[in-house]
Structure 1
């Protein structure tokens, strides 16, 4: 008898491109899980920064704190941890660029900018996306007008544990789920079963798997050591059997139609299927 589909992990990433916080429950909102990627680091030209170009960001660690989180530098113990609340206040605003979008954002406290500038060795600022900002997902695939935070393109990323197990079975050195930065992780089912999902439910909440997620060089950086794989793994192996339109695919970009609370351990039920891609 096949194992049931269950929500096995929940993650939020308070600052885009920094580490995640593992949760046992999370609130689903129009832009994704509450507090997920609402903060963003921008350079002196107000353009978004990620580990893709600024690998030093991999040294910054995120830990939960009361009504917020702590940032620390794993190689700079002389830098005291920085407390950042989950939400900012609209005292100062500016326009920032993320991919092809320009949106207004609220500034963090000056000491946040000073800490990050020192930690990363270049001028930068920390900014927050308020509920007043409208940033849409891809209109061609989401005519209903879904919102997204400072995440790359979609409010949720879903990955099955058996999909990671399939990939790790092909790697000389297995990698953890944190390499792929999912929000929703489920157990049960066959490897890459999520590729064929269309509408599904977790507990009493409805979701839609829109399209597969193309992976980038970020997956080759070990979050524990901030070192990049000299062989380009796991991206190289993934690309050998999971390529579509020139990108290595892993996980599903997901939207949701409602608000509510998710709990780890809740059942996952697939309501409808789409034709899975062939890699």
Structure 2
């Protein structure tokens, strides 16, 4: 029986994740202690999203959820504490930020936070938080018309990957004289054991207890899987190996690993590592 083998929540887009034993599933993605996946984002002076694609050192910014704060750590820097309580939407400073083709409202964190995050990233930037009044609908092109929303994820609220898919890729890398890669290079929220390699590509749904997830779109890959999440440096890029068998014609030949998913049942239900998953295939 397939089981949920790993859960990772990323409070800040493109920074380190937090490994969890259990989590709450919501339409906006993973949530724990009232903190949502990719609820914060780093932006430049014009409000444009910054990621490890341009700034691999972001991998070294490690968040920890405390009782009342989100604690940030980075090599050679003092820790920073960010209050977890939401600002007052009526009075808190806000700005419009851009993520790909979307422009959404966000809370602007203070000057001290901006200085800290700029030093950690190595470029002038600010940290913003998804605004309580903001809404970011996903593209329904891939959801069969099902309406869904997300925060600062690339496009959909939950990313799922199978451990056998990584094993398959690593076998090819090792056969080519390369090092095997850890799953964190691909930054999924949920990892499934007990399915065949890339079987997640062909799933109609995943049911975990009362939670039902609908896979909607293969996840196209940029150069980020070449960033070593432990060092914040670019390393060997697996894209050339993936080019031989992971190009998706329906995405104009994009190289894909993992499936974006949306929640269609079980809002606010908890799931845990080791829980059995019923995988329904689309054929």
Establish whether TM, by shorter chain, passes 0.5: yes
Q: Whole-Å Cα distance in 1 between the matches of residues 170 and 151 of structure 2?
A: 30
Q: Whole-Å Cα distance in 1 between the matches of residues 270 and 196 of structure 2?
A: 26
Q: Tell me which residue corresponds to 1:239.
A: 243
Q: Tell me which residue corresponds to 1:43.
A: 44
Q: Tell me which residue corresponds to 2:195.
A: 189
Q: Whole-Å Cα distance in 2 between the matches of residues 87 and 38 of structure 1?
A: 13
Contact 2:160/2:260 (CA < 8 Å) preserved in 1? yes
Question: Secondary structure at the residue paired with 2:215?
Answer: strand
Q: Tell me which residue corresponds to 2:78.
A: 80
Q: Whole-Å Cα distance in 2 between the matches of residues 265 and 68 of structure 1?
A: 29
Q: Whole-Å Cα distance in 1 between the matches of residues 84 and 261 of structure 2?
A: 23
Distance 1:8 1:29, change over 3 A: same
Question: Secondary structure at the residue paired with 1:41?
Answer: strand
Runs of 4+ in 1 over 6 A off after TM superposition: none
Contact 2:158/2:261 (CA < 8 Å) preserved in 1? yes
Q: Tell me which residue corresponds to 1:221.
A: 227
Q: How many pairs are equivalent?
A: 266
Contact 2:16/2:58 (CA < 8 Å) preserved in 1? no
Contact 1:88/1:128 (CA < 8 Å) preserved in 2? no
Q: Tell me which residue corresponds to 1:151.
A: 153
Distance 1:24 1:59, change over 3 A: closer
Q: Tell me which residue corresponds to 1:199.
A: 205
Q: Whole-Å Cα distance in 1 between the matches of residues 160 and 69 of structure 2?
A: 24
Q: Tell me which residue corresponds to 1:9.
A: 6
Structure 1 residue 265, shift from structure 2 partner: 1.2
Question: Secondary structure at the residue paired with 1:170?
Answer: helix
Distance 1:66 1:237, change over 3 A: farther
Contact 1:87/1:128 (CA < 8 Å) preserved in 2? no
Q: Tell me which residue corresponds to 1:165.
A: 167
TM-score, normalised via structure 2 length: 0.89
Q: Whole-Å Cα distance in 2 between the matches of residues 174 and 202 of structure 1?
A: 29
Question: Secondary structure at the residue paired with 2:49?
Answer: coil
Q: Whole-Å Cα distance in 2 between the matches of residues 99 and 39 of structure 1?
A: 16
Q: 1:111-130 CA distances to partner (integer Å, 9 max, x unpaired)?
A: 21121122233321111113
Q: Whole-Å Cα distance in 1 between the matches of residues 81 and 244 of structure 2?
A: 42
